[in-house]
A and B are shown apart, each in its own frame.
Chain A
């Protein structure tokens, strides 16, 4: 569990300003929903927090330590992408265990912990499945498990429930609350759906109010 502080962040692409002087703070263990219309720069903010893109100005602090110039792989920030980005050449279990493998954890422990998380997201017995054969909801759960098993200090969720049908959406939204509580992680959730935000997060903020 950690705190996250974004100070006066500005990001522009090819002269277009996407984020203009945005500031945001998350307390330890807090789940915050970030609302805003599509194209407003929500995903860009997540990417800047994860270090996938470098901001033009401003800083990112985790537990009060400036990580603006720390490369993504050493930030300990987990992220679930909108389209999951599962690795198509690896089994479901190996997808979940990827972060542990990068951390140098040996195979037996890795598989044990990955299997445990597959169980937590309701996919016990899916270990040997090809990820390309999973349904939309299953793939989303694998992506969640893959991020959470590595116990990141900050969890970023980019529209995690978009594109699922209504019934699955509602079910997964409820499960997400439980999963995030189990993981006890500080979470920043991006969504365009105020209802979903109210259900999953402790508090919601509008991107346009963060300037």
Chain B
């Protein structure tokens, strides 16, 4: 490929890329290599793999993820169809709510189900599965629904005129054609539930452990670092297999359906249709909102009946004279906000320059792009675990540093910032930079004048996402936060684990606050992302 004269100079691309490359190397690759080295001792591998409990935990992780995935798909298909095919009031609002739920911190989701379910069902596998299904419903509705919109309604009608009843239309026509989307949704849900950590910590019974929870337990409770490292690798191996399978399956079932135009959504016409849509939409709305309502309601439930005590007394560490709880909710709130500000700042700066470098570097930018995505492939627990065991000796003993947690959060948030920024950056017409060059601007200058202005909106979206991720992050934080430095999710998990309903109510207060903040941030993201969407929908 010949170098165009208006291409960016190498030094500029390099100096942009250097910060993200160093950050990724120091805070992700190095910890990951440390983890590998830790795991690759014959003794640790034999110990872990011959232990019966390892396989019991692996089996539990696998089957709960499978059941959660199948359940989410089965429950999500009907609403996916209704959302794809029909117009109804509040459609955008409900999609927004479901998306917000998907972005909700895992601990908050756990808290919501704890608040919702009767005590007999708390801390059972049913609670875990229920939380997983509600959590991931948005994935099925959005991913499968989008594909369903491309399936012509007339194709389903054609099958009906040939004698296929509703069920046969679904099994013989619709399902085979939307199957790539179902596979994609299933893979996403499986990855999320297989690495479930926050939900299990809040909702699972004492012995209920996924591999993720076991890594945390072995590291922080038992101090068995090597065995935890072996488990982390075992999990990574299984996750890689799932990703391979889903890529393969999607390719095999890929059809030209995406080339079909969108089938317009229509208002339900008959009484039966109206009833069907009303029931499906009603049920979805109930499933999506009731856990959150329960969360808010329980924050007002105290031993002495309904009161705002938990909200007003939030700042008081001493619940009764002489009884301290060891967790300061207000302190946690401050910590979380401070960490979120720093994490957002780091993520936006690093993600922003990374996106610029990737866009400017052309084909070779793909390496940096893929590299920055890696922390998403590894689980949050693996990231926190790696950092914990790497930065524990001089001169890199950074465990007590205030910036370690924000850096960990930024590592998870950067890929999202890069994703949102790259789209608009790549859409900028190269002809525009060339036009600027013909007007006498040097490449770097032309770029600053023409390309950089397109970055502000996507960076604002990225910032809101990064803030939401940081505020809710639980997996990596479980390893990195120290006593007194608890974040909101950590404080929530601890408060809900205590007996005493006033402490629990305080946990629900914090969870409600976190849920509201996330919903607001998601709404901001939605607004910033499609500024013209609401007008277009209304016309």
Contacts and interface: CB of A to CB of B under 8 A. Distances in A.
A72 B161 contact: yes
A103 B160 CA distance: 12
A74 B266 CA distance: 24
A155 B448 CA distance: 65
A102 B256 CA distance: 25
B177 A72 contact: no
Interface in A40-75: 47, 50-54, 71-75
A87 B156 CA distance: 9
Interface string A147-171: 1001010000000000000000000
Interface in B140-175: 152, 154-155, 157-165, 168, 172-173
Interface string A125-165: 00000001000000000000011001010000000000000
A145 to B, nearest CB: 12
B234 interface: no
B255 interface: yes
A77 interface: yes
A53 B272 CA distance: 12
B176 interface: yes
A88 B158 contact: no
B86 to A, nearest CB: 12
B325 interface: no
A105 B157 CA distance: 21
Contacts of A50: 157, 161
Interface residues of A, number: 32
A13 B157 contact: no
B244 interface: no
B163 A88 contact: no
A81 B162 CA distance: 12
A108 interface: no
Contact of B270 (A54, A79, A89): A54
Nearest to A143: B158
A14 B158 CA distance: 24
B162 A85 contact: no
B163 A103 contact: yes
Given A50-B157, A88-B255, A88-B257, A99 B163 contact: yes
Interface of B, helix, strand, loop or mixed by DSSP: helix
A14 B269 CA distance: 9
Given A88-B255, A88-B257, A89-B255, A99 B162 contact: yes
Nearest to A102: B163
Contact of B162 (A52, A71, A146): A146
A14 B164 CA distance: 28
A150 B159 CA distance: 12
Nearest to A84: B158
A147 B157 CA distance: 13
Given A89-B176, A102-B162, A83 B257 contact: no
A88 B266 contact: no
Contacts, number: 75
B165 A71 contact: yes
A144 B521 CA distance: 54
A99 B49 CA distance: 55
Given A13-B266, A81-B154, A83-B154, A88 B160 contact: no
Contacts of A74: 163
B405 to A, nearest CB: 50
B154 A150 contact: no
B267 interface: yes
Interface string B493-532: 0000000000000000000000000000000000000000
B276 to A, nearest CB: 13
A152 B269 CA distance: 26
A117 interface: no
A85 B158 contact: yes
A52 B157 contact: yes
Interface in A91-116: 98-99, 102-103
Contacts of B255: 88-89
Given A52-B157, A53-B269, A89-B176, A150 B162 contact: yes
A51 to B, nearest CB: 8
B155 A73 contact: no
Most chain B beta-carbon contacts within 10 A, residue among A50, A51, A87, A152: A87
A59 to B, nearest CB: 15
A28 B269 CA distance: 32
A88 B163 CA distance: 18
Contacts of A51: 160
A72 B256 contact: no
Contacts of B270: 54
Interface in A1-36: 13-14
A54 B267 CA distance: 13
Which one of A88, A99, A146 has the highest number of Cβ atoms from chain B below 10 Å of its Cβ?
Answer: A88
Given A72-B161, A78-B161, A88-B256, A102 B269 contact: no
A60 to B, nearest CB: 14
Contact of A52 (B160, B163, B165, B257): B160
B160 A85 contact: no
Given A13-B266, A85-B154, A150 B256 contact: no
Contact of A85 (B152, B163, B266, B269): B152
A54 B152 CA distance: 19
Interface string B411-454: 00000000000000000000000000000000000000000000
A108 to B, nearest CB: 19
Contacts of B165: 71, 73
A93 B164 CA distance: 17
Nearest to A89: B176
Nearest to A103: B163
Given A52-B157, A98-B159, A146-B162, 9 more contacts: A13-B269, A73-B168, A85-B152, A85-B158, A87-B158, A87-B159, A102-B159, A103-B163, A147-B161
27 contacts: A13-B266, A14-B267, A50-B161, A53-B269, A54-B269, A71-B165, A72-B160, A72-B161, A73-B160, A73-B161, A73-B162, A73-B163, A73-B165, A74-B163, A75-B161, A83-B154, A85-B154, A85-B157, A85-B158, A87-B158, A88-B256, A89-B176, A98-B172, A99-B163, A102-B159, A146-B162, A150-B162
